[in-house]
């Protein structure tokens, strides 16, 4: 069974700082990995999708990496802004099964302060 842990659980940083969010998983048999953000009481917004064969993906100030051998994915946010404040979730789609079933991490609650 896939276990997904995100560290830290909460993070507070000043505006402009570069930061890294971590996601650890126990089963390397993943199909792909997706990072989401969630604003309070809202749905999930997709940020980046990394296929199993890829090492990283970039979108604007965001960069996500995937290292299956170590069971880790990281989300790098450059030059953080108050609008980045949200909960960030990583989610895995497994190789087995073929269907759409995501296993989510525990989330990192980020607060970017002025």
Partner 1 sequence: KAGVTQTPRYLIKTRGQQVTLSCSPISGHRSVSWYQQTPGQGLQFLFEYFSETQRNKGNFPGRFSGRQFSNSRSEMNVSTLELGDSALYLCASSQDRNYGYTFGSGTRLTVV
Q: DSSP code of 81?
A: -
Instruction: Give the residue with the Cβ less far from partner 1, 34 or 80.
Output: 34
Query: What is the helix (H) or strand (E) element at residue 72, kind and residue range?
Result: strand 72-77
Give me the helices (H) in the chain, please: none
* Residue 104 CB partners (closer than 8 Å, separation 6+): 4, 89, 90, 91
Backbone angles phi, psi at 84, to 5 degrees: -80, -10
The least distance separating partner 1 from the CB of residue 81, rounded to whole angstroms, comes to 23
Assess contact for 107 and 44: CB atoms under 8 A: no
Window 50-69: contact mask with partner 1 (x via CB under 8 A):
-x------------------
Window 2-41: contact mask with partner 1 (x via CB under 8 A):
-----------------------------xx-x-x----x
Instruction: Give the residue with the Cβ less far from partner 1, 1 or 69.
Output: 1
Chain contacts with partner 1 (rule: CB under 8 A): 31-32, 34, 36, 41-46, 49, 51, 89, 91, 93, 97-104, 106-107
């Amino acid at each position: 069974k896939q276990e997904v842990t995100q560290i830290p659980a909460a993070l507070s940083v000043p505006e402009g700082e570069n930061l890294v969010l971590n996601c650890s998983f126990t089963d390397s048999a993943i199909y792909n990995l997706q990072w989401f953000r969630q604003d309070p009481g809202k749905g999930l917004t997709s940020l980046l999708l990394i296929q199993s064969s890829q090492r990283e993906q970039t979108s604007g100030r965001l960069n996500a990496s995937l290292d299956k051998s170590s069971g880790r994915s990281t989300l790098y946010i450059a030059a953080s802004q108050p609008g980045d404040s949200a909960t960030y979730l990583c989610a895995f789609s497994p190789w087995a099964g073929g269907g759409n079933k995501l296993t989510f991490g525990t989330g990192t609650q980020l607060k970017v302060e002025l």
